Amino acid sequence: VVPDAAWAEEVRALARQRDAVLLAHNYQLPEIQDIADHTGDSLALSRIAAESSASTIVFCGVHFMAETAKILSPDKTVLIPDARAGCSLADSITADQLRAWKAEHPGAVVVSYVNTTADVKAETDICCTSSNAVDVVRSIPADREVLFLPDQFLGAHVRRETGRDNIHVWAGECHVHAGINGPELADRAAAFPDADLFIHPECGCATSALYLAGEGTVPAEQVKILSTGDMVKAARSTSATSVLVATEVGMLHQLRKAAPEIDFRAVNDRASCPYMKMITPAALLRSLRENADEVHVDAETARRARGAVQRMIEIGT
């Protein structure tokens, strides 16, 4: 399948027939981002999915995102163009592991990143995304212990920003972001000393970026730890003429559209998420033609997870 004008026309026509809204995460292939009704980060897309009046949501992203949309809108049909599009971070903790961890910390508030399965969300008090994780933890009384999962780097970021020492962090990671490492970032920053650094908090190199700022190698105001949606906002407001981007490479497409005059470069151009890239033009077309793959969440699991996801979409901007 070539993503040409005929493909775009068929996708649009089928979406209309099915009363479907097409959502695409910022890490999707450029042609998928361009055909979608909305592109955005995990939080923005969850909010759009919850508010949409369309009867079908086609989620061009990974499975936990489509599952989150289904939890929020159980009466809608939620499709993902390829149900095998998982997430190594979501796979880093199971509901059994979380139950055992909770038993070790009775009374602790459980904060789960949206990159988790529905079963894990059902054991959670509040979900968060990278754009509101700090606000979510700040909403919890300071004397309550917090279990933060599953991403260790986002957890470290939340600990730094809130200054709280009663946050226990699960040792999970996303293999794509963990692979963007500190030495690589330091080399790139040395080659482009005037560039802003846009760093996703899931990155292994986030601590190194703050270290570079702390020792004065990079001016502190050039180092920005941001969710993918906040990167787009920052691209529109920065005065920098070049930006080094530490996240999945699909992000460069929205950044270049938002600020064509800026030179955006990946810190690691091999940082491509194999799951996000399973949503091909052919998979999207098949999804709309066959009404597949439909995402189901068991009603009881969805009921138990819904409160945590709803709190997530209410907190932060």
Task: Give which of ligand 13P, ligand SF4, none residue 275 binds (C-beta under 5 to 8 Å, depending on kind).
Answer: ligand SF4
Q: Is 2 annotated as a binding residue?
A: no
**Least distance in Å: CB of 59 to ligand 13P?**
12
**Least distance in Å: CB of 279 to ligand SF4?**
11
- Pairing between strand 126-128 and 77-79? unpaired
- Give buried/exposed letters for 80-96 (b at 16+ CB in 10 A, else e): bbbeebebbbbebbebe
Q: Work out the widest C-alpha separation in the chain, in whole angstroms.
A: 59
**Least distance in Å: CB of 64 to ligand 13P?**
8
Q: Which residue has the tokens 């597949």?
A: 292
User: Site for ligand 13P (CB under 6 A): which residue of 228, 254, 268, 287?
Assistant: 228
Q: Would you count residue 32 as binding ligand SF4 (CB under 6 A)?
A: no
Residue type, 257: K
Distance CA 16, CA 183 (A): 48
User: Site for ligand SF4 (CB under 6 A): which residue of 275, 278, 297, 312?
Assistant: 275
Task: Give which of ligand 13P, ligand SF4, none residue 232 binds (C-beta under 5 to 8 Å, depending on kind).
Answer: none
Q: Which residue has the tokens 């996703």?
A: 200
User: Site for ligand 13P (CB under 6 A): which residue of 198, 202, 305, 315?
Assistant: 202
Query: Can you say whether the dihedral through the CA atoms of 50, 52, 56, 60 is positive or negative?
Result: negative
Q: Is 117 annotated as a binding residue?
A: no
Distances (CA, A) of 157 to 90, 95, 204, 206: 18, 24, 11, 8
**Size of the chain, expressed as the number of residues it contains:** 317
Q: Give 126's DSSP letter.
A: E
Q: Would you count residue 42 as binding ligand 13P (CB under 6 A)?
A: yes
Q: Is 201 annotated as a binding residue?
A: yes
Q: Which residues ranging from 63 to 102 are in contact with ligand 13P (CB under 6 A)?
A: none
Cβ proximity to ligand SF4, 62 vs 218, nearer residue? 62
Q: Is 174 annotated as a binding residue?
A: yes
Q: Would you count residue 111 as binding ligand SF4 (CB under 6 A)?
A: no
Nearest residue to 267 via CA among 231, 221, 233, 215: 231
- Residue 285 has a CB neighbour count (10 Å cut-off) of 17
Q: Is 200 annotated as a binding residue?
A: yes
Q: What is the CA radius of gyration of the chain?
A: 19
User: Site for ligand SF4 (CB under 6 A): which residue of 45, 89, 251, 302?
Assistant: 89
Q: Which residue has the tokens 């602790």?
A: 108
Distances (CA, A) of 219 to 7, 209, 214, 245, 296: 46, 10, 8, 16, 48
Task: Give which of ligand SF4, ligand 13P, none residue 88 binds (C-beta under 5 to 8 Å, depending on kind).
Answer: ligand SF4
Q: Would you count residue 11 as binding ligand SF4 (CB under 6 A)?
A: no
Q: Would you count residue 88 as binding ligand SF4 (CB under 6 A)?
A: yes
Cβ proximity to ligand SF4, 18 vs 177, nearer residue? 177
Distance CA 242, CA 193 (A): 10
Q: Which residues are part of a known binding site for iminosuccinate?
A: 25, 42, 113-115, 130, 200-202, 228
Kindly list the residues in this chain that would bind ligand SF4 in the complex (CB under 6 A): 62, 87-89, 115, 174, 176-177, 248, 273, 275-276
Kindly list the residues in this chain that would bind ligand 13P in the complex (CB under 6 A): 26, 41-43, 115, 129-131, 174, 202, 227-228
